[in-house]
Amino acid sequence: MSRVKGDFRYRQVMDVIVNMMKSGVLNPGDKVPSLRKISEEQGVSISTAMQAYMELESVGMLEARPQSGFYVASGTSVPREPVTTSRPLDQPTQVKKSDLIQTILYAITDPDMVPLGCAIPSTDLLPHKELTSIMRRILSDDTEARVEYGDVKGNKFFRQQLAHYMNANGNSVSSEQLIVTNGASEAMTMALRALTRPGDLVIMESPSYFGFMHLLETAKIYALELPTSPIGGILMNDFRNALDRYDVKAVLVQPNHGNPMGQVYPDDTREEMVKLCNKKDIPIIEDDINGDFTFSGRRYGNLKKYDKNGNVIHISSFSKSLAPGFRVGWVEPGKYHEEILRQKIAGTMASNDIMQLTLAHYLASGKFSRHLRRMNSNFKAQVETYTYHILKNFPEGTRVTRPKGGFVLWAEMPEQVDTLDMYPRALNEKISFSPGGIFTSQQKYNNCMRINCGFPWDARMERSITRLGELAKDYL
Ligand SMILES: Cc1ncc(COP(=O)(O)O)c(C=O)c1O
């Protein structure tokens, strides 16, 4: 009997603290009331209060600091349910989302818009001063060469630096195997054009980056979206079945910190996916644009590691880590090199040489890895703070992803919330976000939204997240 009573009392203290967090009386980093104070207030012994605090510490909500007491952990502090594994309809779908996606992209360039919509980092986190001074040097050194056409495959020095950077991340690639592109977007367009024809079918995660939807729509390709876990990516049972049932022309995945849900594929999934596709000669397009953004310091590898046949097409860019406006990305096309290079020549002939050279000199300076470490530590803290405020302000029952890297969050709200309807209302108040419905070819995820956490937390962000929560609550 007394155990039950003791149980009740320490839980009562836990509830008091959790409610203080939920209501915003306590925020991440705040000192919680001392053991003496809470025990007096709640009429419990110090050891009961201690038990409550230790319990909250064990689930990551509080942090004990030696000689100082207990603090609200800098991470998420409100207990939460995980985001559910997606269940898209098991049928190929024609994509029709372009108009809405374009409206969202236009909002990026509005300086008055609160930038919670597109997945972009704050320019304060980018080394723009260093890049500008490198570019100035390049322009003053050799002005004639700078106005000529560059190599179709990309600037040689840049490709060498790129190969060096990729190999430092566990790949095995030579500069001759790389083709430089205008961002990852052009690489993706080239790969899809080389591998598919209108009416073909491509397997994708669900939800998937909305740029893929736009691309499939313009290329008239059907999407076969598969159930996807926010933790480990596409469910392999569904993947196997899909390969057996459909004539799939390509697979498009983000194995590292996928946008929007943050999934990281386990090693055995990667290995099996590559093996199955190699057996059926189905190319896999691996978008690794978020691969560098890892909170643990451990960078996950690439699908190429398991690929002995050159069947994986690896794509990435420096748009998120260095300079989105430079429009520099690349593709390592494996055995599809000739077809994909032909697309580059047909499409844009070559990429901008000055931008590539600027990035090449930056990579050669050896500063990139320190820059990434700094960026990742900012992203980690930002993602935690945004998560905390979303859970505090969004409707009861909201679930938010727990990414191990990247800088976006996927919030799943109660079914009644309609983020497509809410989008123009938020835009009217100069707040952008990405409604869940644009991350799928189907009529789904209207109760979801993606939030960009690439900007440091400040009063404007706090007002905007609070306001989005209020707008969402109007649907309940
Ligand atoms: C997953 C993913 N792939 C590709 C891109 C496009 O990248 P880029 O700007 O290099 O074309 C983005 C940009 O948001 C993205 O999030």
The predicted-structure confidence for 338-370, as pLDDT tens digits, reads as follows 999 999 999 999 999 999 999 999 999 999 999
Q: Is residue 57 in a domain?
A: yes
> DSSP states of 15-72 as a string?
HHHHHHHHTTSS-TTPBPPPHHHHHHHHT--HHHHHHHHHHHHHTTSEEEETTTEEEE
The pLDDT, as a whole number, for residue 3 is 37
Indicate whether 329 and 223 sit together in one domain. yes
Nearest CA to ligand 1 atom 14: 119
Q: Look at residues 35, 52, 72 and tell me which one is the last residue of a structural domain.
A: 72
For ligand 1, the distance from its centroid to the CA atom of residue 144, given in whole angstroms, is 32
The pLDDT, as a whole number, for residue 6 is 47
Contact predicate 112/313, CB 8 Å = no
C-alpha–C-alpha distance, residues 282 and 278, integer Å: 6
The pLDDT, as a whole number, for residue 176 is 97
For ligand 1, the distance from its centroid to the CA atom of residue 318, given in whole angstroms, is 9
The pLDDT, as a whole number, for residue 98 is 78
Range of the domain at 49: 2-72
**Residue of 318, 319, 432 best suited for mutating to test ligand 1, as the one with most atoms within 8 Å of CB:** 319
Please give all residues whose beta carbon lies within 6 A of any atom in ligand 1, as ranges: 119, 183-185, 209, 211, 254, 259, 287, 289, 317, 319, 324, 329
Q: Is residue 343 in a domain?
A: yes
For ligand 1, the distance from its centroid to the CA atom of residue 324, given in whole angstroms, is 9
For ligand 1, the distance from its centroid to the CA atom of residue 188, given in whole angstroms, is 9
Q: Look at residues 30, 47, 72 and tell me which one is the last residue of a structural domain.
A: 72
Domain count, the chain: 3
Q: Kindly state the tokens that stand for 465.
A: 């997240």
Q: What is the pTM of this model?
A: 0.84
- Based on its alpha-carbon atoms, the radius of gyration of the chain, rounded to whole angstroms, reads 24
Q: Is residue 112 in a domain?
A: no
Contact predicate 206/227, CB 8 Å = yes
Indicate whether 136 and 194 sit together in one domain. yes
The pLDDT, as a whole number, for residue 79 is 53
C-alpha–C-alpha distance, residues 101 and 224, integer Å: 19
Nearest CA to ligand 1 atom 13: 119
Indicate whether 325 and 395 sit together in one domain. no
- Residue 207: cis peptide before it, omega within 30 degrees of 0: yes
* Secondary structure letter of residue 85 according to DSSP: P
Walking along the chain (476 residues) 10 residues at a time, the average pLDDT comes out as 52 84 79 93 90 78 85 66 84 83 77 92 96 94 79 96 95 96 98 97 97 93 96 95 97 98 96 97 98 93 93 98 97 98 94 95 96 95 91 93 95 96 94 95 95 96 97 97
Sign for the pseudo-dihedral over CA of 88, 93, 95, 97: negative
Taking the CA of residue 119 as reference, the ligand 1 atom at the shortest distance is: 14
The pLDDT, as a whole number, for residue 234 is 97
Indicate whether 339 and 397 sit together in one domain. no
Q: Is residue 149 in a domain?
A: yes
For ligand 1, the distance from its centroid to the CA atom of residue 89, given in whole angstroms, is 26
